[in-house]
């Protein structure tokens, strides 16, 4: 038996909808159904503390006037999840003006030159470019992005990116396998 007040069942009249009208997140599928069916829109209004949220959803807006935010004092709330619209926008790094035009972009993570050279490295790697090193049973491929794949089938080692191996593990392996130490030094590692 379900606890009283439980909403975890769909009224028979609404079972044909693919998204239940009591979801905590409102998506464009909710919007499409609410525009087509007033009963569905009323069920959406009944399940939210903010009828304005459903009005905004139907109108195609992404925010509505809701409760004041404890952090920034703004009253705009996001239709999707009732989060503070302004705090979420700041977190994303870009801001819009009253007409929804972008007025500030998120800070760049890379300089333009850095971005171009990273693209170039990735493209060369996709094209199959690499330098191969060998030492005994061990072989390594140095890729343009800096990735070093190391392989030694005799010892069941086939690592796609040796940079991700912890330093202590690398020292341990190098002590056991002098060929690996030689190989890494040939690839330019200072060990």
Residues that bind Zn ion (CB under 5 A): 69, 71-72, 74, 84, 86-87
Instruction: Provide the minimum distance between the beta carbon of 116 and Zn ion in the complex, in angstroms, as a whole number.
Output: 37
User: Which of 80, 162 has the CB closer to Zn ion?
Assistant: 80
- Both tokens assigned to 14: 């609404």
User: Which of 91, 106 has the CB closer to Zn ion?
Assistant: 91
d(CA 118, CA 150): 22
User: Which of 88, 159 has the CB closer to Zn ion?
Assistant: 88
List, in sequence order, every beta strand (DSSP E) within 48-166: 63-65, 76-78, 95-96, 102-104, 131-135, 138-142, 148-152, 157-159
User: Which of 89, 159 has the CB closer to Zn ion?
Assistant: 89
CA 46 to chain centre: 32
CA angle at 83 for the pair 107 and 33, rounded to the nearest 5°: 115
List, in sequence order, every beta strand (DSSP E) within 41-154: 63-65, 76-78, 95-96, 102-104, 131-135, 138-142, 148-152
d(CA 10, CA 181): 65
User: Which of 10, 69 has the CB closer to Zn ion?
Assistant: 69
């Amino acid at each position: 038996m379900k606890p009283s007040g439980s909403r975890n069942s769909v009224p028979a009249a609404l079972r044909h909808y693919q998204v239940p009208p009591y979801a905590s997140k409102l998506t464009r599928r909710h919007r499409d159904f609410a525009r087509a069916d007033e009963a569905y829109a009323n069920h959406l209004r009944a399940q939210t503390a903010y009828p304005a949220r459903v009005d905004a959803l139907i109108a195609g807006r992404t925010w509505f006037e809701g409760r004041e935010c404890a952090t920034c004092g703004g009253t705009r709330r996001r239709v999707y999840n009732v989060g503070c619209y302004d705090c979420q926008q700041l977190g994303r790094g870009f801001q819009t003006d009253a007409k929804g035009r972008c007025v500030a972009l998120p800070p760049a993570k890379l300089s333009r030159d850095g971005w171009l050279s990273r693209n170039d490295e990735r493209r060369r790697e996709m094209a199959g470019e690499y330098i191969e090193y060998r030492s005994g049973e061990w072989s390594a491929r140095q890729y343009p992005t800096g990735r070093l794949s190391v392989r030694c089938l005799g010892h069941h080692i086939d690592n796609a990116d040796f940079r991700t191996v912890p330093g202590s593990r690398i020292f341990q392996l190098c002590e056991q396998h002098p060929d690996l130490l030689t190989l890494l030094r040939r690839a330019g590692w200072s060990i």
